[in-house]
Amino acid sequence: MKLLGNIIWLIFGGVIIALEYLLAGLVLIITIIGIPFGLQALKLAMLALSPFGSKVTDSGGGSGCLSVLMNIIWILIGGIWISLTHLVFGLLLCITIIGIPFGLQHFKMAGLALTPFGKTIS
């Protein structure tokens, strides 16, 4: 079921979302100061390629105050808008019964898009 869900996800927009995150990540990595943010965008791109069967978890050992600071900067620069976009798509998809699984994946991506530092994808 995970494979089928990921294939349908990729056909109906997952590839586009992953390419957008990949492009944003590469542009951020070009600048030295944007490297940590670019790596988080690449993390979002990996989740966008196969959201079914993937889990977002907090990294062990506590994230520390640097992670909290980076999450605050991420939220202020654009994380809130990315997260709100995923929330809107999730709500729109959850209107129909067929779209509920895909809406739930957008909700999972919204959580990661809001605070990506200190989280891992497994």
**Token pair of 121, please?**
């994808």
The tally of domains found in the chain comes to: 1
List the domain range (segments joined by +) for residue 71: 2-121
Tens of pLDDT, residue by residue over 100-114, are 999 999 999 999 999
CA distance 109 to 31: 25
Place of tokens 């202020």: 76
Note the pLDDT of residue 62: 62
Q: What is the pLDDT of residue 50?
A: 93
User: Which of 56, 44, 51 has the alpha carbon at shortest distance from 113?
Assistant: 44
Q: For residue 58, what are the β-bridge partners? A: 119
Could you read off the pLDDT of 22-41 as tens digits, one per residue?
A: 999 999 999 989 999 999 99
Residue 63 is predicted with a pLDDT of 67
Residue 66: its pLDDT value, please? 87
**Tell me, what's the pLDDT at 61?**
62
User: pLDDT tens, 37-88?
Assistant: 999 999 999 999 999 999 999 887 666 788 889 999 999 998 999 999 999 9
